[in-house]
């Protein structure tokens, strides 16, 4: 879903263009990215920021005061301009897989898709932003058109738009997270003829997106499987408050699949217990992923899921990609920023938490967006 205009780039210097600010406002943190594109077509991370939301706003809707605070931070971090691309919050996104009549030149598919979408979800057509894209034809498909349709109620996105506009920003697009992540992860995804599953490991949920033939063909939110649940489990295991710094230290230090490291008996025991909690959590996550991928195997038996891509804040855990890959017996990689585009700061280059912000920042470029209804988030 997008409201992007045809060209939203501004000149930075000769031969270089800078794009909009991709802004990922999570329940606990804000991630921002702005890209520069050289005349040779090379993406470079021009500016980035990662900072916590204030304690009194975490998990709550964004306010005008917080939008002003975000603007102040971005200004200090060398971001240029005030054009934003945001993602539709997961809990506000409306989705439906629709089976429509076979496409013909005379068939008014836009009107049919919208009418079927509002009918199936029982929403008013005038009250939503809406788009859709064609899906690869499933096995044994009838002579119909299969599409994924997405929407967002105006009442759910207007308060956020108003908050940022009051802070001097201009909203250029509201985009579906799945489409932004698909765009960002092209460099680490499987070939288009094969299937890539993208797992975004957030604070409250793990969001799973299946990409086939370059389009998002399935998505599912695993509510309650995010890092918040892991923090609870570790706090209970070590009998500390879940906001205690020891939890963050454990997550930085302990590798989920590595038994080496500490040598002192107490440290070894603590690492072992922490690893057990980590494995238990991600065993549950991988079990849910297996369930979701079974649907994909049924729909597209001639194509295999050949790669898992991990992103989001939780993807930075040591050894997680290797552990998940071993559990699923599918090659698994981490979408670190430096593998998606050119990043000069080595600390940022290894960070997978910026993936969504990077994908949002790519919105509007002829090489990555504006492709029509192709699963990259572009439509009406």
Nearest to 37 by CA among 21, 17, 22, 20: 17
Three-state secondary-structure class, residue 23: strand
CA distances, 188 to each of 66, 170, 185, 310, 339 (Å): 34, 31, 5, 10, 7
Please check whether residue 63 lies inside any domain of the structure. Answer: no
pLDDT band, residue 142 (cuts 50/70/90): low
Please check whether residue 46 lies inside any domain of the structure. Answer: no
Pick the more confident residue, 191 or 269: 191
Domain at 105, CATH number: 3.30.1490
| The pLDDT of residue 140 | 64
| The pLDDT of residue 80 | 93
Buried b (16+ CB within 10 A) or exposed e, 331-370: ebbbbbbbebbebeeeebbebbbbbbbbbbbbbbbeebbb
CA-derived radius of gyration, the chain: 21
Residue 167, pLDDT above cutoff 80: yes
| Residue 146: domain span | 92-154
Residue 164, pLDDT above cutoff 50: yes
When pLDDT is averaged across residues 308-337 and rounded to a whole number, the result is 97
Please check whether residue 114 lies inside any domain of the structure. Answer: yes
| The pLDDT of residue 187 | 95
pLDDT band, residue 59 (cuts 50/70/90): confident
| The pLDDT of residue 173 | 92
* Model confidence pTM above 0.85: yes
Dihedrals phi, psi of 77, to nearest 5 degrees: -95, 15
Please check whether residue 343 lies inside any domain of the structure. Answer: no
- Residue-wise pLDDT tens digits, 257-285: 765 444 344 455 778 899 999 999 999 99
Residue 337, pLDDT above cutoff 70: yes
| The pLDDT of residue 37 | 82
Q: How high does pLDDT run on average in the chain?
A: 87
Please check whether residue 117 lies inside any domain of the structure. Answer: yes
- Residue-wise pLDDT tens digits, 283-314: 999 999 999 998 888 888 888 899 999 999 99
Rounded Cα gap, residues 184 and 359, in angstroms: 4
Please check whether residue 11 lies inside any domain of the structure. Answer: no
Looking at the structure of the chain, the number of domains it has is 1
Residue 158, pLDDT above cutoff 60: yes
Dihedrals phi, psi of 161, to nearest 5 degrees: -60, -45
Residue 244: is it exposed, middle or buried by C-beta count within 10 angstroms (0-12/13-18/19+)? middle
Q: To the nearest whole percent, how much of the chain has pLDDT over 90? A: 69
Please check whether residue 125 lies inside any domain of the structure. Answer: yes
When pLDDT is averaged across residues 211-224 and rounded to a whole number, the result is 94
| The pLDDT of residue 46 | 95
Nearest to 20 by CA among 2, 39, 7: 7
Residues sharing a CB contact under 8 Å with residue 346, sequence separation 6 or more, in sequence order: 338
Pick the more confident residue, 373 or 172: 172
Residue 2, pLDDT above cutoff 80: no
Rounded Cα gap, residues 300 and 213, in angstroms: 11
Written in H, E and C, the secondary structure of 29-97 is EEEEEEEEEECCCCEEEEEEEEEECCCCCCCCCCCHHHHHHHHHHHHHCCCCCCEEEEECCHHHCEEEE
| The pLDDT of residue 372 | 31
Please check whether residue 134 lies inside any domain of the structure. Answer: yes
What is the DSSP pairing of strand 205-212 with strand 215-223? Answer: antiparallel
């Amino acid at each position: 879903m997008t409201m992007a205009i045809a060209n939203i780039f501004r000149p930075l210097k000769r031969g270089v263009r800078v794009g909009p600010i991709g802004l990922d406002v999570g329940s606990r943190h804000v991630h921002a990215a702005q890209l520069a594109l050289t005349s040779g077509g090379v993406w470079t991370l021009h500016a980035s920021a990662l900072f916590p939301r204030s304690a009194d706003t975490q998990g709550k809707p964004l306010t005008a005061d917080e939008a002003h605070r975000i603007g102040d931070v971005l200004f200090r971090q060398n971001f240029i301009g005030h054009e934003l691309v945001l993602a539709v919050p997961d809990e506000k996104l409306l989705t439906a897989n629709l089976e429509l009549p076979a496409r013909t030149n005379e068939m008014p598919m836009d009107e049919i898709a919208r009418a079927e979408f509002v009918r199936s979800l029982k929403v008013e057509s005038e009250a939503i932003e809406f788009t859709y894209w064609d899906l690869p034809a499933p096995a044994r498909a009838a002579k119909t058109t299969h599409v994924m349709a997405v929407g967002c109620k105006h009442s759910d996105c207007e308060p956020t738009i108003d908050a940022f506009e009051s802070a001097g920003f201009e909203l250029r697009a509201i985009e579906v997270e799945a489409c932004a992540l698909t765009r960002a992860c092209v460099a680490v995804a499987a070939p288009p003829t094969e299937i890539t599953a993208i797992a975004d490991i957030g604070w409250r949920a793990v969001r799973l997106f299946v990409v086939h033939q370059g389009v998002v063909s399935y998505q599912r939110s695993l509510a309650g499987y995010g890092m918040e649940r892991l923090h609870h489990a570790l706090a209970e295991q070590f009998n500390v408050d879940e906001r205690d710094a020891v939890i963050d230290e454990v997550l930085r230090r302990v590798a989920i699949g590595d038994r080496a490291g500490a040598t002192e008996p107490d440290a070894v025991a603590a690492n072992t217990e922490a690893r057990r909690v980590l494995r238990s959590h991600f065993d549950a996550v991988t079990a849910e992923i297996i369930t979701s991928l079974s649907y994909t195997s049924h729909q597209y038996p001639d194509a295999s899921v050949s790669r898992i891509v991990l992103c989001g804040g939780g993807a930075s855990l040591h050894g997680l990609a290797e552990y998940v890959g071993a559990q699923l017996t599918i090659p698994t990689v981490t979408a670190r920023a430096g593998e998606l585009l050119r990043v000069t700061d080595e600390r940022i280059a290894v960070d997978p938490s910026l993936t969504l912000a990077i994908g949002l920042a790519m919105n509007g470029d002829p090489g990555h967006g504006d492709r029509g209804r192709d699963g990259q988030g572009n439509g009406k």
